[in-house]
């Protein structure tokens, strides 16, 4: 069984995310998604999510391409995740191209093209700063 892993925040889930997950799953038989926790997003990325970790996790688990969702709690865990889950292919969007090449000593590293016309940043910008009140 060929296992694939990808990482992300997946806030304001949209069809660009679905395209990435579908293409990642097509590279193997089993897709693990490491989902950034709220604490990691805030403390390390200075990102505040609209949806909580549990809400984002539930959304991802409902997607047929996703087999397992695990928490991403720090930048350094990628190597241990690859070993623990016996990952064959590490996948990220091509906006990260070159940033994870060192992982190629453990598994195949693939950067997939982003869906150009959509992004969470774009959605937030178009809704305006006051448009995301929960």
Active-site residue set: 45, 47
Instruction: Write down the residue that tokens 């996703």 correspond to.
Output: 66
Task: Give the DSSP per-residue string, 2-63.
Answer: -EEEEEE---S--HHHHHHHHHHHTTSSEEEEEEEPHHHHHHHH----SS-HHHHHHHHHTS
Dist CA 29 CA 11 (whole Å) = 25
**68: three-class secondary structure by DSSP:** strand
Question: Whose CA is closest to 41, among 29, 52, 55?
Answer: 52
């Amino acid at each position: 069984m060929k296992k694939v892993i990808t990482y992300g925040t997946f806030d304001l889930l949209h069809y660009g995310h679905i395209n990435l997950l579908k293409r990642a799953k097509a590279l193997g038989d089993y897709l693990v998604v490491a989902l950034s926790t709220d604490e990691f997003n805030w403390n390390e990325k200075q990102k505040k999510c609209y949806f909580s970790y549990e809400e984002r996790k539930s959304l991802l688990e409902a997607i047929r391409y996703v087999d397992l969702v695990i928490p991403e709690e720090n930048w350094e865990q990628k190597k241990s995740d690859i070993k623990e889950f016996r990952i064959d292919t590490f996948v990220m969007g091509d906006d990260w191209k070159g940033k994870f090449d060192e992982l190629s000593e453990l598994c195949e590293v693939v950067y997939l093209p982003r869906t150009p016309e959509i992004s969470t940043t774009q959605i937030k910008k178009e809704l305006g700063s006051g448009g995301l009140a929960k």
